[in-house]
Structure 1
Amino acid sequence: MELHLIIEGRRGLAEQVYRQISQAIQSGRLAHGQQLPPSRLLAEQLGISRKPVEEAYRRLGYERLVLGQAGRGSFVNAPAAQAGKPPSPALLAANAALAAWREYDNPLRKVVDEARARYDFIGGSPAAQHFPEDDWRRAVNAALRAERVHRSRYADSAGLPELRRTIASHAAYSRGVAGDPSRVIVTNGAQQALDLLARVLLEPGACVAVEDPCYPAARQLFRSHRARVAPVPVDAEGIVVERIPEDARLVYVTPAHQFPLGMAMSEARKRQLLDHAARSGAVIIEDDYDSEFRYEGRPADSLQGMDRDGVVVFVGTLSKVLMPELRIGYMVAPEALAEPLAIARNLSDWHGPTLIQHAAARFMEDGSLLRHIRKLGAVYAARREALLAGFAGPLAPWFETVPASAGFHITALARRELDMPQLIRLARRMDVGLYSLEKFYAGAAAQQGLVMGYGAIDTLDIPPALERVRAVLQQMDS
């Protein structure tokens, strides 16, 4: 990599080199410990003789801005940052737009940067220690071989054909989703699928109905597209269809495992919702984020599998099964939406990394995904039982759980008024990570409770963690 210096004229060459390197160090453009190119190489890059560069290096070394290490080279020795008045920000024409984006912030975004507690009940994080590294490594090696054929070429914006085929087969097998591979669009996580749907289907001021409570990042994403977001309450059967505005262009739901409460939408409510969409012309987004894991009862039909009018988009993800860092999401769209969504994907970022897509296709084709789901299902079942036992026993005076038969989190509702911020703060001091239900609500009727994910905590750690929570609650009562 070349060091960016600009030489003007043929005079004062050593001074020019010294001044520019010194300014780069003082400003932080050259970081502390960064290696400078050898004097001979830098002279060749600048088209000057070596002597001015050596003279500049000697002066920088004398001032301790550069330190030479025998046999290794010259390294930046940046001084401690000088406290000074920061430059005044420019008055940008887009300042109002920037301020609006700050209002769209998602409360879950900050959780990513927080250090995990020893006993952490964060939701949405799969069991990292059970990731099938050997199977994935074999899939990546196969992907590297496949990439040789298509290297230096752009790919289909909707995703590699082999991955779309395996996704269509997997969704049909596990969730009863109907649709051929031509209607599958691979995305960078489910979040990009939601963004593409908003880009294609919404204009400023269009109405989007969302469950309340719901996934905050979805609600804020629709708001960022200047949509009018209408929170719709849920009951024990799912979204209350009668409360959906008649002019809603989109309806966002999580029918298999309502996020974050956890109950499943009843068959009757699903049919009512489908009838509403067919009558009003709304598109339903079915976010099926973690229903691969089921513990009791028979599998319920997906909304998309029940759809006879082409109004449901099925959105799925492999992030909750494998790991979030892979960013593999997908949607199965009605025929009328498939091409516009592929065009929007093309304009947005053309396509995702093909190496990951090749690997994911191989991982699914050879049965590794289904084996991993079965293994994790047994792990999560044990953790779920431990959590339910704790809330039915030591924590029963304070909480009751919402019935849920899928996913890898449960929600516990407070039986009486609690100071939830204090509970979360005191539990954190005891190295237990708890997460409040209230931040998932948009309306005023937020229920008090805890969203208890069990992907990131071991089964044997759950009882002692809940005992610490009980101790905190007793302390608060006293």
Structure 2
Amino acid sequence: MAIAVETFILDPLHQGTLQRQLQELVTGGILSGRFRPGDRMPSSRGLARHLGISRITVTLAYTELVANDYLSARGRSGYFVSDTAPRPPSLSAPSHMPSGSRVDWSRAFAQQAPTEAVLTRPEDWRRYRYPFIYGQADARLFDHQNWRKCALQALGARDFDALTSDSYERDDAQLVEQVIRLILPRRGIAAHPEEVLVTMGAQNALWLIAEALLRPGRTATVEHPCYPPLRQILQHSGCNVRPVAIDGQGLPPQQVPAQTDVLFVTPSHHCPTSVTLPVARRREILDRADRDNFLIVEDDYEFEMSFATSPSPALKSLDRAGRVIYIGSFAKSLFPGLRLGYIVGPAPLVQEVRRLRSLVMRHVPGHIQRAAAYFLSQGHYDAQVHKMSRAYRDRRTVAEQAMRELGLTVAGSNTFGGSSFWMQTPPGVSAAVLAQRLRDRKVLIEPAGPFFGAAQDPGTHYRLAYSSIAERDIPEGLRRIAQESAALTPSPII
């Protein structure tokens, strides 16, 4: 039986190459049972014409499928589904299916996760012409070639153990060494290997620390507004959560409750307002921690993007009592899908958190760790950060000039750089309504409700990031935001 060429349809949102997508279409058809042994594939010329791609792309895909025994080549007769291709699993269907579940899941769950609003963005956000959204990798800035080289190097025979071994609770020694030698000194932090733990990003680090240090009856103090998943993690722990409103200089140390057990802060770059905590306040917080005997968790995200001024010293670099637990991440400097971060803290804390991590997963995948280690050790990380910083500086300069001309209101101060602005709508304008109207004009902004929590959202703030939008598109995108803001502003009563 010949497989019709119309069977194959390319997905424009597919993230891989055309060759990879075509291979997936064929393997998916075989593994699902739609394509059967002996079925004839469309000719490479005919399939290329149908899909609007080059014939060599189809030929390369077919060749790879032959090598993997999904297809077989029969001389001039063409390509056929191999007689020995992997088969779909043969599962016997039950004689009858239950009409409905009798399980009361509301009673079955030992503890349900919090259901607060979370930060979301359209899955097809890359189709929007003006995506002012935060934290997504910009393909125009990423060093694809050298990352690919490092990933391939990590797949080599010399790194076979790092790739395939179960390291139990241990992390990749090469990555830990690079964090200690290359990353931490820039923040004024000195650490030994037993004081570093590799995590699946900063959020995983926050969860592990909360699990280790908090329980019902203990108190966690957080900035308000704050990173939404942190609030949910703390609520799930059952501890008392005490929010402290920030001001124009970040967290006021005198407002931290004396009964605090753990204080969570983002001093270098407050999330989400971008305010930087002055060094004097950092020292005051450390004095308070000593006096009231509480621990401090410092989330030092995005410190690499300090293109305007040098970043202030990390809170941990000023700590002489061992009270600060430091969290770093490669999500903003490399890409969020890497899910790679680290905890730096006293050895007893890291040892306990390591045991906790092993209950969920033994360690971060070895290949990811080793590829990142090579990327750092070969100098590509520094070059990547430098390239991004220059691009962000240029984009920020263009955005600041356009916002001044358009009269848009910046609510948060930021002196060191970063990748976003904290914005405020005109009086009487809802940020959520503004965001919805802007979508019809191909503009994406992020309403700030999740940062405040549903009960305390003033509804008037939004985050405006420039990490994912081309510099040339920033003025027009801001012009559309200004137009919609003006259209929504209530007319004065005369």
Quote the offset at 1:362 in angstroms.
0.8
8 Å contact kept, 1:411–1:452: yes
> Which one of the candidate residues 458, 461, 466 is aligned to 1:454?
466
In the alignment, structure 1 residue 133 sits paired with structure 2 residue 144 = yes
Letter in 2 for 1:184: V
Task: Name the SS of the counterpart of 1:314 in structure 2.
Answer: strand
Letter in 2 for 1:399: T
Aligned to 2:444: 433
Aligned to 1:363: 375
| Structure 2: gaps spanning 5 or more residues | 1-29, 39-78, 89-96
Quote the offset at 1:135 in angstroms.
1.0
* Residue-by-residue CA offset, 1:183-213 (whole Å, 9 max, x unaligned): 1110111111111101111123421111100
8 Å contact kept, 2:37–2:80: no
Task: Name the SS of the counterpart of 1:217 in structure 2.
Answer: helix
Inter-partner Cα distance in structure 1 for 2:162 and 2:271: 40
In the alignment, structure 1 residue 399 sits paired with structure 2 residue 409 = yes
Quote the offset at 1:242 in angstroms.
2.6
In the alignment, structure 1 residue 341 sits paired with structure 2 residue 346 = no
> Which one of the candidate residues 231, 236, 240 is aligned to 1:219?
231
Letter in 2 for 1:126: A
Inter-partner Cα distance in structure 2 for 1:294 and 1:115: 27
User: How does 1:290-329 map onto structure 2 within 5 Å?
Assistant: 290-329=302-341
8 Å contact kept, 1:206–1:249: yes
In the alignment, structure 1 residue 153 sits paired with structure 2 residue 153 = no
Quote the offset at 1:420 in angstroms.
2.1
8 Å contact kept, 2:212–2:353: yes
**Pair 1:31–1:245, CA change in 2 (3 A):** farther
Task: Name the SS of the counterpart of 1:182 in structure 2.
Answer: helix
Identical aligned residues as a percent: 28
8 Å contact kept, 2:162–2:370: no
Inter-partner Cα distance in structure 2 for 1:391 and 1:377: 21
Aligned residues: 406
8 Å contact kept, 2:154–2:163: no
8 Å contact kept, 2:325–2:346: yes
**Pair 1:176–1:140, CA change in 2 (3 A):** same
Inter-partner Cα distance in structure 1 for 2:267 and 2:236: 24
Aligned to 1:283: 295
Inter-partner Cα distance in structure 2 for 1:167 and 1:414: 40
Inter-partner Cα distance in structure 1 for 2:417 and 2:289: 26
User: How does 1:8-407 map onto structure 2 within 5 Å?
Assistant: 34-35=34-35, 72=81, 87-92=99-104, 95=107, 97=109, 100-101=112-113, 103-105=114-116, 107-108=118-119, 110-111=120-121, 113=123, 115-116=125-126, 117-145=128-156, 146-150=158-162, 152-155=164-167, 157-394=169-406, 396=407, 398-404=408-414, 405-407=416-418
* Residue-by-residue CA offset, 1:342-383 (whole Å, 9 max, x unaligned): 111222200111011111111101111011101110000011
8 Å contact kept, 1:410–1:451: yes
> Which one of the candidate residues 421, 427, 436 is aligned to 1:416?
427
Quote the offset at 1:32 in angstroms.
6.5
Length-normalised TM-score, structure 2: 0.76
Inter-partner Cα distance in structure 1 for 2:317 and 2:136: 28
Inter-partner Cα distance in structure 1 for 2:378 and 2:329: 19
8 Å contact kept, 2:306–2:389: yes
Inter-partner Cα distance in structure 2 for 1:261 and 1:445: 14
Quote the offset at 1:87 in angstroms.
3.9
8 Å contact kept, 1:292–1:406: no
Inter-partner Cα distance in structure 2 for 1:104 and 1:309: 37
* Residue-by-residue CA offset, 1:288-346 (whole Å, 9 max, x unaligned): 11110113233211001000111111101111111111111111112331211111122
8 Å contact kept, 1:130–1:376: yes
Task: Name the SS of the counterpart of 2:246 in structure 1.
Answer: strand
Letter in 2 for 1:268: A
Quote the offset at 1:91 in angstroms.
2.3
Aligned to 1:43: none
**Pair 1:308–1:215, CA change in 2 (3 A):** same
Which range moves more in the overlay, 453-462 or 328-337?
Answer: 328-337
Letter in 2 for 1:132: D
Letter in 2 for 1:408: S
Which range moves more in the overlay, 340-349 or 211-220?
Answer: 340-349
Aligned to 1:474: 486
8 Å contact kept, 1:250–1:282: yes
Inter-partner Cα distance in structure 2 for 1:289 and 1:198: 18
8 Å contact kept, 2:211–2:237: yes
8 Å contact kept, 2:117–2:450: no
**Pair 1:104–1:179, CA change in 2 (3 A):** farther
Inter-partner Cα distance in structure 1 for 2:98 and 2:401: 55
Length-normalised TM-score, structure 1: 0.79
8 Å contact kept, 1:263–1:403: yes
Inter-partner Cα distance in structure 2 for 1:130 and 1:319: 14
Letter in 1 for 2:181: S
Letter in 1 for 2:413: P
8 Å contact kept, 2:426–2:485: no
Inter-partner Cα distance in structure 1 for 2:218 and 2:430: 38
**Pair 1:35–1:221, CA change in 2 (3 A):** farther
Give the number of the structure whose alpha-carbon radius of gyration is greater. 1
Structure 1 runs (4+) greater than 6 angstroms displaced: 73-76
**Pair 1:446–1:471, CA change in 2 (3 A):** closer
Quote the offset at 1:449 in angstroms.
1.9
8 Å contact kept, 2:272–2:463: yes
Inter-partner Cα distance in structure 2 for 1:388 and 1:86: 61
